Structure 1
Amino acid sequence: MTGSPTTSTHALHAALVPAPALVDERRTLYRLAAEMFAPGTELSDNLADHPIVRYEIGRALAGHGDLDPAVLTRVASMGVRDAGVPVVSDPAAAEVIEAPLRIVAPSGARPEPLTEADGERFESALHVVEEGVRLLWKFAPDMAEDLLAHVSMLAVLKRETSGGLVSASSRYVPGIVLIDEPALPMEVAEALVHEGAHEKFFDLAITRDFLDLNAEAADYFENSWSQARWPLEQTFAAWHAYSCLAQFNASIGPERLGPDSLLSKAKVRADEIGRWLLAHEIDLRSDARWLLRALANDAVDLEGGGGVRSEVDDVTLSSEISENGHFRLLPDVSFKRAASGRVVVGRAARPVQIFWLDQDASWAVDQWHKDSATEMFGRLLARAAEEWQADFAVAAKRLRAAIGSLLSSSIAGSPEVH
């Protein structure tokens, strides 16, 4: 991986899935999960975006307790100030954002957020944040629009408590960026690119075909600059962030950087990680491979990105589906459709299981309702051929693959399946 990418990161992100559609899909997933754990719960955009709301839903999805809608409403009432991004300002914030503070804390440190209780010190930091956001929009407006769509909240940490954190984010509490008390606006701009890239990746990872459970068993990457060893997910996230930082660095000119800046090192590190990922791309799913190769300047289709390809693999069960076979949506299944048309499905197992469906499987699920009678494959096929404008042979192959994937995921079943 040598030379600069010929296509910008924001253009590649948009080819995969435009930021507004990605945010809507992520909200759709969290809304489905909230309804499954607490029937009748409706999340506004603000609630669905709130990092602590998403943390609480994530804990429930992981099987670490139930979901209390009252807690969601309470944490969402925490005060923030607008500095181009919502900045934590509530004097009670340390309690509300305890989880991200604890998760990202360096060993021996107990980070504390700056809030309005700190008076002029907070106001001064807020001004630097505002200037940093302005710089990001000035130097890289397309990148700002692309990445800031995934930053729901920023917390400024008291420098004497942070343990030299600089900036941080966590996939366990997605949406919140934590930064050290900044001295320079450029420190804020860089942190928002770095952590905004991570937040973008978190959303891609839960809505697109990026990684699966096999990633946990994949080889670790060892970097040359600190000899740290990273699992595959962290390696891909680091490569993605360094790629964005390298692009941002090329746009800023002789701007003064902070003492901990990674901008001058970003391209070399992105190239090193990228070479390793290309050698281990068999462990990545299709959309992750597409993004990796696109930034590596390999020939890829930029018109539709990775999202237009079928996400349904050939399923053994599909060959066993006969014209007279009857199928239904299983009673423990819930689903919700995003504005993009993609369908996310949840199974009320322990822990709850969440699936994104491809276009054909989404269409099939739409044909069923929880309390409806079963559908015969032949009738579904006639409808599919007409709506897909495909001949029967092509439609039959697609529909069998779609239903096969739903059967293998225990989303659909035959009438005798209970």
Structure 2
Amino acid sequence: MTADTRQKTLNQAQLVPIVLDEGQRGYDILIGSGLLDEPSSWQGLSKAASALIVSNETVAPLYLQRLRAQLSKYYARVDAVLLPDGEQFKDWASLNLIFDRLLETASDRKTVLFALGGGVIGDMTGFAASVYMRGVPFVQVPTTLLAQVDSSVGGKTAINHPLGKNMLGAFYQPARVIADLDTLDTLSQRELSAGLAEVIKYGPIADAAFLDWIEVNLDALLARDKSALAYAVKRCCEIKAWVVGQDEREQGLRAILNFGHTFGHAIETGLGYGEWLHGEAVGCGMVMASDLSVRLGLMPAEFLPRMRALIERAGLPVVGPPLGAQRYLDLMRVDKKAEGGEIRFVLVEGLGKAGMHAAPDELVEMVLATHCA
């Protein structure tokens, strides 16, 4: 993005830069209303003869033609591929639909992919971009709150395997992230709540003041107040940009972003992908991880009811499904953070600070017995 274009875009949106390799690489996250129809959102990207929009059957009728109209100003050919909607379709079969379209249209290694949708679309588009011809550029256009505050940022791409969530993927950074807050107007309330789980997680792990802010402004977020949403998305992206800038490939610090995810991924995999939304599982997982933080003496007892009350207010489940303790433990041992068969959890060590911890199975079983139906 040129200096003039960057300034014009700054006039239209808030901008959060991600800086990698001490400034050698990076990209911008644009946050604001009306960005889908703003020409400067799409200027300065890689020059190419063609672009491919990847979306799903739910999002495409709402936004595909608007995005295609903008991209047609910069690419001679703008194709689209629509995938089935749902976490249960985040698999090889859906991924191959993207490759099929790229090959059918003789797309070359400069073709730019645009991920128009939520976290599933963003993850699969990024993974396809990382693999096709050993890497082509892609742009994230997240249309859900969860994707805008988390999954579209940082370059994690993946598909699911029946035995484990997000176990097949690559670290591959987008060229830009364009988060149009207006797309949140069409979210179901359930999807909005699921996104709030990822908003909430940033407070206890990285910013105690932000946790206070969420508690005060949660009703405004649930009511889709644009100023509240703009601040929440920006603050979450700032925190994630800071973390990713220090640990792009999750060798250490970046793991804290998985607070609640070890329990949450077990819920998703154990129930079958799509039964619970990702954010619902993470919300419930944060309750469990908060309890474990207290039981290990890392946090005072009052931390658990505070987190449980906030997560419940957000419209998220706080009681896990009755998979059985052994099933939970088996699934969590497949988690990417596990080492040598030992489950490692992201736990809160003080408001605004988190770290990796192991815990005896017996203690984890006590947590599960307390928080599962």
Where on the TM-score scale, by shorter chain, does this alignment land: which range?
under 0.3
Which is richer in strand? 2
Q: Which has the higher contact order (CA 8 A, sep 6+)?
A: 1
TM-score with structure 1 setting the length: 0.25
TM-score with structure 2 setting the length: 0.27
